[in-house]
Amino acid sequence: MVLYTKEALLFENYVVLLTVMRSTSLFNIIYIYEAQLEPMMLSEPTDCFPDRERCCVHYERPMMQIFSLKLASVSINTSSVELYGYIAVRDYVDSLLNYIVNRSRDDPIIAQQGSFIEMTGPKRGIAMNSPVLVEFDMRIKTGEKEEDDLTLIDGATDYCDLTIPSVSFTHRIHGNCGAVDITLARVYNAVEATIDVLVLKVQNGFNLSLSSFVFVGGSDQEIPLFRGTTAESCGLRRCVIAVKMDTWMQLKFKVGQNGSKNDHLERSCYFKANIHGCACQQIMLQHAALSVKVTWSTVPV
């Protein structure tokens, strides 16, 4: 992996074609558009052979899974900081920005040194048949004007040499005013899991925490998906993760009453990775009823 600054990447009329090891993909970072392709593109294909259950047309592929982002250090002496900006990936599927974090200055993330940075992506699964570029520009809000803000991290790094199969590791990205730890893995023989959770019934507001556990490197690895308060029936933010084929994905729900630190329930449901299709489960709790749908797909070529 190599870390690039924006100044090193931008040249020749601000257009760069970055070619990295073993890759025929071209990342054109002047195009700052969001990736348009949606998840679940091959969940219900029409060209399976001999049929959908025994399909030999679509198959699992290497995918990148980002498990967490953490504010490793910050140079200013304060108990918490307000972060905004973006962290995104570019893969060979369309080379556009697939956001992992994307927050405006008016809606910053409140973080402390050592705390996790909430991820809101990716929008779709991250293909890793060839190198993946992780691009970032995160800033620290310090005053009334944007020009007074500090740069936390700014640049890009490519991951092209992850030869150890399915072992998660942490890479520290250093910046002008701090550092961010990104924990990730290249998951071989993976499929895309799209998780949709509906809160069907609510008895008063409650705290909800959702994590996914996937089998990577010989053990289950946790991916924080959602943490917040829910007071009415709604759908949670859609989550997309990579799951190794022929393994089980666990979704763990922690539910507690508002204002209570000790009164909480834990429930889990399990879904086995598949090439196509979907599976649904319902979870009945004291405070709410939840509906969980997981849609399986391979990533497009």
pLDDT at position 61: 92
Q: What's the confidence (pLDDT) of residue 32? A: 80
Same domain, 199 and 120: no
Within-domain flag for 36: no
Looking at 137, 166, 188, the residue that finishes a domain is 188
Both tokens assigned to 140: 């620290």
* Domain co-membership, 77 together with 166: yes
Q: Based on the domain organization, do 183 and 253 belong to the same domain?
A: no
Res 26 pLDDT > 60 = no
Return the closest-CA partner of residue 67 out of 191, 194, 183: 183
Number of domains the chain contains:
2
Which residue segment(s) compose the domain that 22 sits in? 2-30+61-188
Same domain, 21 and 72: yes
**Same domain for 129 and 99:** yes
The residues with which 229 forms a beta bridge, in sequence order, are: 207
Whether residue 211 is predicted with pLDDT greater than 80 in this model: the reply is yes
Environment class of residue 250 by beta-carbon count within 10 Å: exposed (0-12), middle (13-18) or buried (19+)?
Answer: middle
115 and 168 housed in the same domain: yes
Q: Which two tokens stand for residue 209?
A: 């925490």
> Taking 60 as the threshold, does the pLDDT of residue 16 lie above it?
no
How many CB atoms lie under 10 A from the CB of residue 91? Answer: 25
> Among the listed ranges 18-32, 115-129, 216-230, which one has the minimum average pLDDT value?
18-32
What is the rounded average pLDDT of the residues 71-95?
93
pLDDT band at residue 261 under the 50/70/90 scheme? low
Which pLDDT score is estimated for 28?
64
- pLDDT given at position 250: 97
Residues 289 and 141 in one domain: no
Q: Are residues 282 and 198 in the same domain?
A: yes
Same-domain check for residues 107 and 16: yes
The torsion of the CA quartet 183, 187, 190, 193, rounded to 10 degrees, works out to -10
Domain of residue 266, CATH code: 2.60.40
pLDDT, residue 301, reads: 76
